[in-house]
Chain A
């Protein structure tokens, strides 16, 4: 009996390792391709160990303005995060703490946003952005994503679990609502804000349909406002047959996201549970 359960435990471990390796293997293989010789990708068996040919990396790095593209992505993602934190904090406070006529209606309005898929919005928002001359700007990549239903409801949830004595004490002290929010509210909902920030940042970094539509025109590449993922897609269309070069580009554009995820994976996985509601985009 004990032997059987020990064998079971080992079987479980071996299976888990095999699955983990299978999930990560595509990333490893990409690195291998990026370090291979350009001619060797034509036949079986596939190359499975790197040849350490770094020339692909420098060739790929010099054929697109990657630094500018990275800068764009970081600028867009950071501004989106700041906006989302402000709007989520204020609206979460309003829905969780304040009582005002129309609160129910506003809550329903915000919830209804979840039913409106990004693919449906892309046409009217493109027409709108075109009319307002916002195509090919940073603005159109930031402002429309500056509020998050998930963020609002996560902050609201934190305020709902707050003991009402804290609020009573603040009210008795004659604190204004803004002051309450700044000195008591923010520290109290900080864990929620961290989760919102991480998820919005990653969501912005990984988005594609919106930026590819909104920054479509062929612009001078040194002044482009495109994020790095759109740049990668353009690069892939132009250099489609240079597998090692493209693999190098895939690797160095994905590496920062991976490091970001691995550093914050605890919060990230916790966030994924609550992120469940964020089906927008």
Chain B
């Protein structure tokens, strides 16, 4: 047999052991560490080790100017959580949960409704999709400034709108009763575009056959939605709830620009309090203790999410 026919045979033959070995050697290599190293080093240096460091800092009366002069307090910063004066930890925790709850319920309901409205496509509905998504793509600092004017009781659009409908107007950001609802309205405007698109993606993957079967069986539009569409959207909904909960717990910029945590601490959430204690009041140790609590809550949410996970690869990340 000549060399050429042997080569031809090798090419035509199903993958032989030698060939498979080569591919295996290509895959199996300790160089995998080197390939993942750049990303892993960034995460280690700026995310994972610093998270551990937060625990460490939270045990000290930290001196930001000269860390060598810090005093060890043990769990002192943590016991302060429960007897701190204004703004209290418990009230900020409540504000965080209030904001997160409203965003989860309101955001999920609104974006599901928008997705159902816009799912058909066509130029007009697609333009609305882009319009709804636009706020999410623009910076929070700039758009928060716009909403400060919208909520202005003297010349703002919000009160003008209520006024022209003969409804009672509101002080919005200037009263402690209405400032949190105002921040929530702004945040919904900024965030629902994203979750609407997630729901649209979910709707696009639904099986048409089930809906048709439901219609043949004489289901009303509402029954079809409730028993067929909604059931199939469950994993997407869980995902939307999880992502909204986690981003809402972390929300900072809108509180900074719209309300500065006020008035009278009415919009001081846990995230905002971390910033305020550490960077305004320079109490880094106490700020770190608050950050540890925030971290614990985030982990708790993530684990609950994992346990209730219905699976599906698009949800693998949260």
Contacts and interface: CB of A to CB of B under 8 A. Distances in A.
Interface string B136-151: 1111111101110110
Contacts of B50: 121, 124-125, 128
B264 interface: no
Contact of A147 (B43, B137, B139, B313): B43
B28 A46 contact: no
7 contacts: A29-B146, A41-B155, A117-B298, A120-B291, A168-B23, A171-B22, A254-B139
- Interface size class on chain A is 35 or more
B145 A43 contact: no
Contact of A33 (B149, B271, B284): B149
A279 B243 contact: yes
Interface in B140-175: 140-143, 145-147, 149-150, 154-157, 159-160, 163
A121 B39 contact: no
A55 interface: no
A250 B146 contact: yes
A188 interface: no
Interface stretch (B83-91, B101-109, B250-258): B250-258
Dominant secondary structure at the B interface: helix
A167 B40 contact: no
Given A16-B124, A272-B194, A123 B54 contact: yes
Interface string B22-45: 110111111111011011101111
User: In terms of DSSP, what is the predominant structure of the interface of chain A?
Assistant: helix
Interface string B283-312: 010011001101100110010000000000
A116 B294 CA distance: 9
B40 A106 contact: yes
Interface stretch (A62-70, A189-197, A217-225, A228-236): A228-236
A52 B248 CA distance: 39
Contacts of A236: 145, 257
A233 B117 CA distance: 36
A257 B133 CA distance: 13
A115 B302 contact: yes
B133 A98 contact: no
B279 interface: yes
B267 to A, nearest CB: 15
A23 B67 contact: no
A246 B147 CA distance: 13
Interface string A253-281: 11001100110010011001110111110
Nearest to A13: B124
A111 B317 contact: yes
B47 interface: yes
A236 B140 CA distance: 14
Contact of A101 (B23, B30, B155, B292): B30
A42 B278 CA distance: 37
Which 6 residue pairs are nearest across A and B when measured between Cβ atoms? Answer: A277-B317, A100-B32, A124-B50, A94-B35, A20-B131, A20-B128
B211 to A, nearest CB: 16
B218 interface: no
Contacts of A74: none
A273 B317 CA distance: 12
Contacts of A269: 129-130, 133, 197
